Amino acid sequence: MAKSKAENTTSRPQPVKPDGLLQRLADGPVICAEGYLFEFERRGYLQAGAFVPEVVLEHPELVEMLHRDFVHAGSDVVEAFTYYAHREKMKIIGREKDLERINRQALDIAKRVAHETGALFAGNICNTGIYDPADPATHKAVSRMFDEQIGWAADAGVDFIVAETFAYAGEAKLAAEAIKKTPLPAVITMAIHKADRTRDDLSVGEAAKRLEGVGADVVGFNCIRGPWTMLPLLEELRTAVKCHIAALPVPYRTTPAEPTFQSLTDPGCNYIPDGRPFPTALDPFVCNRYEIGEFAKQAYALGVHYLGVCCGAGPHHIRGMAEALGRKPPASQYSPDMSKHILFGSDKQLKPHNVAYGEKIYGR
Ligand SMILES: [Zn+2]
């Protein structure tokens, strides 16, 4: 929303819009849909493995449509699809020359949808794949990669920047520092693997404190863990920091024994090429929309205001989250009404012999 003339004459400590991220978080939940990589991999527009968002260049119209689908389903944020569109990933697939073009194009697409729908417009940076805690030269290279992507995002006029999927707290801290060289709010989320600690062996509370200490406005977790193995970590985080907290699990039924989607095993299926369900055979583990809704309610009750779903998310998950938080996004117009179902309904117009048959076919 544009500022009024009166608002423009008052000086504000930060150039954050009156209805920007921090104000919205203070007022209640903010939902951010993620997980574009998995969605486009399923549809056949990018490759599992390197997971580079080439669809931004080859089929921008599909990226725009997916942004629209997620806003329709209840996302308050349109996050530019620049995840893994960084120098290292572009190099791995031999497309480093397209680095700036893919970033600017992804930002343009997201900006258009955000402005048309009134959603927040977010830039995105992520884990680089080159960070090595023991090698300071990599820290400089990582910061350079962040700076170039943040520069393109700032040029595009983003409302804030998401830096995500950091297993190393040290790399997350470099991301926070890079964003805080600009006046933009920083959302920093970590990816916690099997141990309940960062890869550089910090408790999640200690890692979050360090991020808050360098100015992160929101800290939390995204990816890797499903709802029920992320929730206990959120309790630890809530007591560690005063800033806003974020939680964007993957929509998979992870367990205490297999707490991450990369550790899930599927003994019931012998046909997965390398035997590991991650990343292309996770279908039997997908959470339904009601589980995602329940997670959102429990996380919000803990004080987590920045909520979303990561790899594997579909618009129905975002709608489930939004509705569980009391929202009614446009897609809710088509939320289920089983009273009109041919077999399981209760509507008077339904045929009694079908409804009677429905009673026979459900359950054992
Ligand atoms: Zn993810």
Whole-number Å distance between alpha carbons of 157 and 152? 9
Domain co-membership, 357 together with 272: no
4 C-alpha to ligand 1 centroid (Å): 38
According to the model, what pLDDT value does residue 363 have?
80
Whole-number Å distance between alpha carbons of 89 and 37? 14
325 C-alpha to ligand 1 centroid (Å): 22
What is the CATH number for 153?
A: 3.20.20.330
According to the model, what pLDDT value does residue 205 have?
98
pTM score, two decimals?
0.93
191 C-alpha to ligand 1 centroid (Å): 9
Whole-number Å distance between alpha carbons of 199 and 267? 28
222 C-alpha to ligand 1 centroid (Å): 6
Whole-number Å distance between alpha carbons of 360 and 363? 8
* Boundaries of domain holding 168: 14-328
Q: Residue 278 domain-assigned?
A: yes
Domain co-membership, 221 together with 258: yes
Q: Residue 135 domain-assigned?
A: yes
Domain co-membership, 356 together with 288: no
Domain co-membership, 192 together with 222: yes
Q: Residue 1 domain-assigned?
A: no
Domain co-membership, 359 together with 314: no
Spell out a b/e string for 275-312, using b for 16 or more CB atoms within 10 Å of the CB, else e. Answer: eebbbebbeebbbebebbbbbbebbbeeebbbbbbbbb
Domain co-membership, 307 together with 242: yes
Domain co-membership, 125 together with 233: yes
- Residues with Cβ within 8 Å of 208's Cβ and at least 6 positions away in sequence, in order, are 190, 219, 220, 237, 240, 241
Q: Find, among 171, 176, 289, 170, the residue nearest to 227 by Cα.
A: 289
14 C-alpha to ligand 1 centroid (Å): 30
Q: Residue 8 domain-assigned?
A: no
In degrees rounded to 5, what are phi and psi of residue 124?
-145, 130
Residues with a beta carbon under 5 angstroms from ion ligand 1: 223, 310-311
Domain co-membership, 244 together with 125: yes
Q: Residue 333 domain-assigned?
A: no
Sequential DSSP letters for 116-181: HHT-EEEEEEE--S---TT-HHHHHHHHHHHHHHHHHHHHHT-SEEEEEEESSHHHHHHHHHHHTT
35 C-alpha to ligand 1 centroid (Å): 6
Spell out a b/e string for 43-66, using b for 16 or more CB atoms within 10 Å of the CB, else e. Answer: eebbeeeebbbbbbbeebebbbeb
pLDDT in tens, the chain (364 residues): 444 444 444 444 444 444 799 999 999 999 999 999 999 999 999 999 999 999 999 999 999 999 999 999 999 999 999 999 999 999 999 999 999 999 999 999 999 999 999 999 999 999 999 999 999 999 999 999 999 999 999 999 999 999 999 999 999 999 999 999 999 999 999 999 999 999 999 999 999 999 999 999 999 999 999 999 999 999 999 999 999 999 999 999 999 999 999 999 999 999 999 999 999 999 999 999 999 999 999 999 999 999 999 999 999 999 999 999 999 999 999 999 999 999 999 999 999 999 999 999 998 7
Q: Residue 255 domain-assigned?
A: yes
Domain co-membership, 324 together with 354: no
According to the model, what pLDDT value does residue 15 have?
43
Domain co-membership, 297 together with 350: no
224 C-alpha to ligand 1 centroid (Å): 6
364 C-alpha to ligand 1 centroid (Å): 37
Q: Residue 230 domain-assigned?
A: yes
232 C-alpha to ligand 1 centroid (Å): 19
According to the model, what pLDDT value does residue 2 have?
45
Angle at the Cα of 85 from the Cα atoms of 82 and 88, rounded to 5 degrees: 150
Domain co-membership, 350 together with 269: no
Q: How many domains does the chain have?
A: 2
Contact 49, 84 (CB under 8 A): no
Domain co-membership, 197 together with 269: yes
Q: Residue 2 domain-assigned?
A: no
